Amino acid sequence: EGRAIELIENREKSNIGKLKYEIILGETPENIKDTAFLKHIKEVGFIHTKIETDKFKSINKIFIEKYISDDYAFACAPVYRDILIFKKKGEIIGIAKICFSCQQNIIIGTKANTINFGHNGDYGKLRRILYH
């Protein structure tokens, strides 16, 4: 929580502070063409990590359209500390911002219904793939 307050307080102090706030707490990027933020991603504090190709199949099983009858919501404000950039033939085709703490996301670049992403333990599965 303290980190989020710091981001809010620093958003007006510099361009990087503003960008950091918009990426981590806000709606940046707003669409699949909005990739200018990637030029400054390291300055903002993100670490670029390439995901090994042997993990793609497991990740693809998580990022599928789901139909769930019972939905749930969290009352916390998401802090998007993880951003996945999906590429095909060198072109960005999707972006997923993930908050593992409160299990919320912003997924852009797909026509699929992503409202049910996270059900069936998706966040735990994705975290294990990325960090183990």
Give the pair of three-digit tokens for residue 23: 């990426």
Determine the Cα–Cα distance for residues 8 and 22; give it in Å rounded to an integer: 10
pLDDT value for 132: 83
pLDDT value for 69: 58
- pLDDT, tens digit (0-9, with 9 covering 90-100), for 24-64: 988 899 989 999 999 999 998 999 999 999 999 999 888 88
Residue 99 in contact with residue 81, Cβ under 8 Å?
A: yes
pLDDT value for 120: 82
Kindly indicate the confidence band of residue 87, based on its pLDDT and cuts at 50, 70 and 90: very high
pLDDT value for 77: 82
Q: What is the pTM of this model?
A: 0.79
Residue 125 has pLDDT above 90, yes or no: yes
Residue 2 has pLDDT above 80, yes or no: no
For 42-56, letters b (16+ CB in 10 Å) and e give eebebeeeeeeeeee
Residue 67 has pLDDT above 80, yes or no: no
